[in-house]
Amino acid sequence: MEIGSNIRTLRQRKGLTQEQVATCLGVSYQAVSKWETGANTPDISLLPGLAALFGVPIDTLFSLDTLPLQEGMLPWEDDGVIRVIQMRGKKVIAVSPRVTPDSPAIEIAFPRNCNDRTQYFKVEVYGHVIADGSIQGDVVCHQSIECSQINGDARAEGDIKVSELHAMGRVVCNGIHDCYRLQANNIECAGDIHAANLTCNQITYKR
């Protein structure tokens, strides 16, 4: 039963934070976090509210292999963000917390000259991503990300592995590994930070 990872996937697709879900259900955000990590499960009385919040049947909370996209009802705004998803037929493949043969990482090749400021863009990836080259813009990755350089804010549900990360704003992730140069105003990290050259105004360890 993968209810924890399913709750996380459905929450992310709705663009909700753990705090917003908690407020809607009348629980603490720590409770929602424990559901998503598998440390605890929601009380049965909360399941109808969860399903209604995400706009799915209750049984989808327990079995989320794929999520259909309704025609004309994409789950995000037309905001110019480059979004990368994997689909099987007309259904979006659920984000797996681990890279497996059935849920491989998404390999992306960005423009070679993307360090040009005129090519600044925002990227959101539903899955694990391995990027060929640099990303000149903000990145949201709904698992882990590995690339040579990120010149923008970064947020990942999993780990970030990058040689250089230059963020004027925030970096939020579970862990930062093998980073040669890391610059950010604020870092929120649940795991280790490995950086040869680190410049940051504030580092907060999430629990």
User: What are the chain's domains?
Assistant: 3-64 (1.10.260.40), 82-86+95-205 (no CATH)
Q: Tell me the average pLDDT across 34-54.
A: 88
Query: 161 or 85: whose pLDDT is higher?
Result: 161
Per-residue model confidence as pLDDT tens digits over 50-105: 988 988 888 888 876 555 544 444 556 667 787 887 777 766 676 677 777 767 78
pLDDT, residue 123, reads 84
In the predicted structure, residue 203 carries a pLDDT above the cut 70 = yes
pLDDT, residue 71, reads 42
Per-residue model confidence as pLDDT tens digits over 92-141: 676 677 777 767 788 877 665 554 555 677 888 888 888 877 787 888 88
Single pTM value for the model: 0.62
Question: How far is it, in rounded angstroms, from Cα 147 to Cα 163?
Answer: 7
The first and second tokens of residue 108, run together, are 């992306």
**Percent share of the chain, pLDDT over 70:** 83
Closest C-alpha among 37, 49, 53 to residue 4: 37
pLDDT, mean over the chain: 80
